[in-house]
Structure formats: C-alpha cells, structure tokens
Structure 1
Amino acid sequence: MIRKIAGSFMTISKLPYIVRTLKTSQKREKLPIILFTLIKPIARITSYVLGRNVRGAWIKLPQKQQRTYIEIMKANRGKFLLSGFFSGVGLYYLYESHIQYCPMTGRRKFVALTPDQARKIGEANFTQILEEVEGIIVPETDPVYLQISKVANAILHANRDLRQIYDKTWTLTVIDAPVVNAFVLPSGNIFVYTGLLKTCDNYDEVGIVLSHEIAHVVLGHVEEKLTRTSFLQMVLLVPMSLLWVLIPHDGIGFLTTWFFNSVADIMLELPFSRFMEIEADDVGLVLAAKACLDVRKAPEFWSKMSLNRDDALQNEDLEFFSTHPADKTRQENLENKIENALKIRTVCGCEELSRKSKTKSTRSS
C-alpha cells in the first residue's frame, strides 16, 4: 500500500552527482543504538538506584566508621579531583571525536550516531507506524495522494545533488486522519495526514511543510538530538546521583530531581529543539526555492497558524516552555529569508512569480 516516490529515485544513488560531503573528525567506533534510544530513562534510574543505595549504606554505618571514611576522603581529595579531571578530559575527547561540519549551514555538530544507525531507527519506527495506521492509509491511486506525491517528488528531484537526498529510498504514506501534521523519518519515509490539507490553502503550502520536514533529515537532526540528549545524561549522572545521596527522604528526593530535570529541560533541551526547528525552516525554504515552489507562502502559512491556534505555548512570551518556536517567531524569521529564497528560485531558472500567484488549492482534490 506504500508507493515508493518516483521510480527514478530507486537508483538515484548510482548517478554521478557532485555532492559536498560532511567534513568530520577522525572516524571512531560506532556506539550501540540502545545507548541513544534508552539513555534518558536508564540514566535517571541509575542515578536513583546508585544514590539511594549509597545513602542507605552510609546511614547503616556506625558513626566511628563514618568519621574514618570522611578522613580517608579528605586525605585523598587530590586523587578524587584528579579522577574528576580525567573524567572531564574523557568526555571532552568523546565530544571532539564526534564533531561534524554541516556544509549547508557551516555549523559544528556533535553527532555520535552513524547514518546507518539512524536509518535503522527510522525503519523500526516506519514499521511500527504502519501497523498503527493500518486501515486509514490513502490508496496510491487517490487524487490527494497523487498530488502530494507530485509535490514531494518536485522537492526531492530539485535537491538530488544532496547526499542526504539521493542516498535514500524515499516513500510516501498519506494517512486519512484529521491531524494537522506531517513528518519524515531519518530513513526517508514521508508521512502526511489529510488534516494538514484542510489547513493549507494550496499545495505550495503543503510543499513548504514537506520541505521543512525533509530539511530535518538533510540536517541529521534526529541523530544530533539523540546524541546531545545522551551526552547530557552522561554529564548529569554524577550530580543526580549525589542529589539522592544527600537528600534524606525519598519524597523530597523525587520532588528535587523532578525540579532539577525540569530546569535542565527548559535551559538545555528545549532551546536546542527550538533552534533546530528554525534551522529546518531556513534550510527547508532553500529546498522549496530550488523546487520552484512559491516560497512567499512560508510566512503566510505560519501567520495563518498563529491566528487559528489557541495553544498558550504559541504566545511568544511563553515559547521557552515549548519544543517549537511560536508561530509568530517562525513567520518573522521566514519573512527575513524570503528575498534570498526568491534569488535562489531565479538562479534555478524557475518561472517568475506573479504578484497574485495562482496555485492549486488543496480543496479541489
């Protein structure tokens, strides 16, 4: 029931395109996938068990023995500091040995997941999602499917010079559900909900959304986010364990760790998530421009979304609690990038846009 997008893309990796490859530091042994997918719960459970057990064992010790251990720790303070220093050096080496440079943005990225590992994660999610939506998948002969496939093909074909585009077998799945959403797995599997079509006024807007989601894959955001989360959990493991050692009651401990984790999310995780969304907006606009889409629809789409949503987190003053920037923030950012996107369209030989462009409405399908 899932149609592979464009027969030519089945063999596109064999074509002699000139591609700018990622510059990376010296290649290291790849880390197990399980480390990235389960590191957060594993780290939190480990800190709880380790810290609680140490606290319990300490409480059971006679006071004389406690004083003896304290004296030993004071006497070996230099060794503990040296161990901490070497642990820091080890973490720094782990970080620097997995740095990549993104040719599209020039940004340094910390990525420990290999493309093959990301593909396997995507394939596993793909199978699971297909099982969940079985029975509500739009047939490939449906006009809606065909139109979305046409837009997706235009984006992929126009950007086939990118390795992250041509090295995948892309698929499209259209799901008949009122959800306003679309996403792309790192393995190249595109999912679009028909609810998105009711929000988009035309297929240029659908293309803008698809370009954004494809940009996440081109930029390797899934790999980068999983790597960053894993690294942060490794760094926080010691202080979180110490919290459980020092806090005398489990109730207070759970409350304190919840607060600690919430602050860490707000200060570290969420800002980076919003940054990646803006980056995907910027690169997605370039992908859309190369596909000759009407890039002016990008800020218009987010302007419309800001008017139609009641989500409190879409307030610009509260977006620091959200994984995504406020719609208004995205609109303003894209408005600043439109001039450059229009120049890219011109360089790519696209048809000049009229002041009032005539684009195919999603309502006509």
Structure 2
Amino acid sequence: MRMEQICIRLVKLDMLSSIRALNRFPSVIRWCGQRPSHRRASLCASDLMRTNSPSSLKPRGSVTLSSALCLRSRSGVNTCITAVRPPADGGPTRGFHTSGRLRALPAPLIWMVLKPLQKLMAIILGRSIRKWWLALPPNKKQLFREWTWRRRWHLVGAGAGLLLFVSLCLLTHLDESPVTGRTRLLVFSRESFMELAQVTAEAYMEEFKDSLIAPSDPRHQVVEQVVRILAERNQDIAEISAVPWTVHVVDGPTVNAFVLPNGNVFIFTGMLEAVADIHQLVFILGHEMAHALIGHAAEQASLSHVVELLSLILLTAIWAICPRDSFAVLGQWIQSKLVQFLFDRPFSRKLEAEADQVGLQLAAKACADVRSGPVFWQQMEIYDQLKGEPTIPEWLSTHPSHQNRVRQLDRLVPEALELRASCDCPALPKGDPRVIFHQTVKLLLDNAKKQEKITQDEKNEKERAGVMLPLPQSPPVLTQGSQPQRGGVLATSALLSK
C-alpha cells in the first residue's frame, strides 16, 4: 500500500510540472483541466438494478437515485459519481449537465512545448558521452577503438537501415499542394492545425480586444466585402469553400495582415492606409488567403520538425566531440545559424513566392486589376526608403525582396489576365497601373531635382554676392558718440543670414 501511495504522488508531481510548462498557453491549460485520465468505467450492479426497477422511479424524499458510475483507475483508486433525478413534486432542483466534448492537444502545439526539452536532452547526452570518454583509461579507449573497428560493417548496416527507415517515413508523408499541385512533406495533418488555429485565434482576440473595429465601421465593411467576393469567386477550390471566413480589423499603424488556417482574417488599419486602391487590397487579401488554403503553416512546421529532429543528432555530436563547454556552445550557435540560413529562411521565401502566385490567381478570378499587384510592392519599397529602413540582403530575410517580387509578379501578370478574361469579368481600363506609377514617380523625381537645382542656384547667388562686398583693411575705430558703420564682414554675415 505504501508503494502505491508513492506512485500516486509521483504521477501528481508529473502532472503539475506539465501544467506549469504550459503556462504560456491559457486556453490549452483549460483543455488539460478537462481531459480525463485513462480509466475503466463500470456501472455498479446494485445501482443499475435499482435504476431499472419500478420502485426506483418513485420519489423518495427530496431526490431519487437514478444511477451511479464507478471509475476504477489503474492505480486501484475507485471513484463513484452519482447522478440524481429531481423530485416530481416541483420542489427545488439542482441543475445537472454533462461536460462538453473534450479535445486533445494539437500535435504541433505538443511539439512546440517539447522542442526545448529535446534540445536539452541532446545536450545532456552529448556532454555525458564526452565525460565518459575522458574518464576512460587509455587501455580501455584502445579496446573500444578495436571493438568499433571489428564491428564497423555492423555499424554501417545499422546506420543504413536507420536511414532507410527515415526515408520510408518521409515518403509516406508526401502530399500534393492545392492549386499548384506541388509535392510537399506534411508530417502534421490539416485537422491538427485547425485546432491550433482556433487556439491562436482566441489568443489574438484576447490581445486585440481593445483595438478591434466595430463591424459597422466602413473600413470593416470594405474588408468583409472583399473577403466575401474572393470566397464566392473561388468556390471551385475545396479549401476555400469548406472554411467559414471571419474578418477582424485591428486599429493600429502596423502595415500587416494575416489569415489563420481556420478562416480568421486579421488586418491592421495601417495596411488599409498603405494600399492605393481596392485592387491592391484584393491582391493582398488573396495573398494571405493563399497561405491558409495551401496550408503553408503545416508545411513549414513539418519541415522544421524534420530538420530539428535530424539536427538533434548533430547537436549531440557537437557536445560529445568539443573538448570544452564553451566550444560546444559556439558550435551549437553555428549549427543553429546554418539551419536558419540554409533551410528555414529559403523555404519561407519559397512559400511567400508561391502565395504571391496563388494570390494573384484568386484576385484575377475576383475580377480585380491584377496589374496593381506589382505596383503595391514598388510602393512598399519607396515607403521603406522614405522611412530610412535599412536594406538587408534577401538571404537574411524570410521574405523575398521587393524588387524580386515585382519581377516575379510582372512575369505572372499575362497569365493572370488570361484567367481574368475567362471569368466573364468587365474590361480593364487601357491605362496600365504599372506604367502610370512609373510616370508618376519619374515626374516626382524630376520636380525634386528641379527644386534642388533652384535651391542650389539661390545659395550660389548669395555666396557670390557676399564675396563681391568690400572687406575692411583694418578694424574700424569708434570715436566717442559715433555710430558703428555696417559694412565689410558685418554686411556679409548679415546677407548670408537672410
């Protein structure tokens, strides 16, 4: 009995530590609190007979027993829950209802929580191997090397088998991307990301609850109408027709918009001020909806998960080989940067380019002027230059550069125009927004150069006028009662100060 009590206490401590680790996710903690443990449920025979007997249906005092549910846990602790039926004479009753449907934690969320723990375990394992090897005497080290050399082919075979197993697991998780038909790796299912998106949406609603614009606001109505048109004109895509789209407009200067996989659209008023017309807004929302319908979040998390698991082997080797902890920390930092610049950021740029392509198609089917898409990124480039934002190389960013985006969209515009023409859309104006934008920018630059030239000429004229004034050979002598004469240096300084 004492051993059983110790086991129960250890299980309770384990549950408490797990809940503390999830303090960053309030909504998930609520689900964890509702999750039942694995128990075997059985109805007590005596209560079941009492329930089925006619006499048990008669009121006895204030309440009548209906049934009792006995739960028996694996540790042997029994728990009985008794349900009661209110009296038939209309006396005071107490409400009794069943709990709602319980939901399991999304797999991506579990991976996010366990990700730091996996790294910690790899570091501990690698460091333990290093300490063990350093503690071995020279003769045992030599014996271990000889043993390894004798079994080298066994070790190579085991490594090849492990590599084959990993390859088969990856091949069984290949999927075809909607719209584009691209083959991709999906470790996490779309359904699990729908559950995670609901948790994320609740967190964003809590974060922006004081800055959300009312649905009656004209800005909210415009965005809602654009999303509705995009969804209606692209009903042939199953991922769009199966999702209820909900719009949330956040009052903030941030130039940003994003769409969650469950159809929650978040857009800031800063983005509404950045777009020049309704066509650019359709393109931007189509770009964000493309991320959701293709499932880029699940795809990026899947690749990150696989790369992270493979990098754990390298991380363990770094901590096992490096002679000191400082070198191991440096090696771990270099490894994380290599993974970031060789896998994460290039893949993110690839997904952004694909979202531009699909978003342009969605906007074309919604009868928008797709020629406005490249113009938006040209505006953003000028906006960043006016703000003095530092220009970083593309390989350091998670998004393609504005210039590369403009070039890619320019190549896709002819195909998008053909798609738009096949959707019975009204004719576009003859003026190309891209040409009008270039002409406007050129005119502004010419006016700025002319104004700068006029200012420089005026400055030169003032300087020449100051040089032509006579300069005194000796300082003037002021006699008592005389007034100082303004001339020479004083006149020059007065003229330049005008």
Normalised TM-score (structure 2): 0.63
Query: Within 5 Å, which residues of 2 pair with 1:85-124?
Result: 85-124=160-199
Counterpart CA distance in 2 for 1:357 and 1:108 is 36
1:183-241 superposed Cα distances (whole Å, 9 cap, x missing partner): 01111111000110111111221111110010011111111100001111122221221
SS of residue in 1 equivalent to 2:311: helix
**Equivalent pairs, count:** 325
What letter is aligned with 1:227?
Answer: S
Aligned to 2:420: 345
1:187 is aligned, of 245, 262, 287, to 262
Residue 227 of structure 1 is matched in structure 2 by 302
Report the RMSD for the aligned CA atoms in angstroms: 1.7
User: Unmatched 5+ residue regions in structure 2?
Assistant: 1-105, 434-498
Determine whether 1:236 maps to 2:314. Answer: no
Q: 1:42, CA displacement in angstroms?
A: 3.9
Determine whether 1:129 maps to 2:204. yes
Q: Residues of 2 paired with 1:240 and 1:174: CA distance?
A: 43
Q: Which residue of structure 1 lines up, in the alignment, with residue 280 of structure 2?
A: 205
Over residues 315-343 of structure 1, what are the superposed CA-to-partner deviations in whole Å (9 max), with x where a residue is unaligned?
Answer: 5xx10111000011101100111111111
Q: Which residue of structure 2 aligns with residue 354 of structure 1?
A: 429
Which residue of the partner structure matches residue 254 of structure 1?
Answer: 329
In the TM superposition, residue 71 of structure 1 has moved relative to its aligned partner by 2.2
Q: Which residue of 1 aligns with 2:143?
A: 68
> Aligned pair in 2 of structure 1 residues 35, 131: CA closer, same or farther (>3 Å)?
closer
The residue type paired with residue 355 of structure 1 is K
CA distance in 2, matches of 1:90, 1:187: 34
- Is 1:325 matched up with 2:400? yes
The structure, 1 or 2, with the larger RCO (C-alpha pairs under 8 Å, 6+ apart) is: 1
Match of 1:335 among 402, 410, 434: 410
1:47 CA drift (Å):
2.3
Q: State the identity %.
A: 29
| Matching residue of 2:390 | 312
Corresponding residue of 1:265: 340
Structure 1: state its 5+ residue gaps.
1-30, 359-365
Report the Cα offset of residue 355 of structure 1: 2.5
| CA positional deviation for 1:356 | 4.0
Amino acid at match of 2:267: V
* Match of residue 128 from structure 2: 53
What's 2:232 paired with? 157
Are the counterparts in 1 of residues 212 and 251 from structure 2 also a CA contact under 8 Å?
yes
1:281 paired residue among 345, 350, 356:
356
CA distance in 2, matches of 1:186, 1:351: 31
Question: 1:90 is matched by which residue type in structure 2?
Answer: F
Give CA deviations for 1:330-364 in whole Å, capped at 9, x if unaligned. Answer: 01100111111111111011111112489xxxxxx
1:312 positional shift: 3.4
Q: Which residue of 2 aligns with 1:363?
A: none
Contact 2:122 2:313 survives alignment (8 Å): yes
Deviations 1:107-141 (A, max 9, x none): 11111211110101111111111111111000111
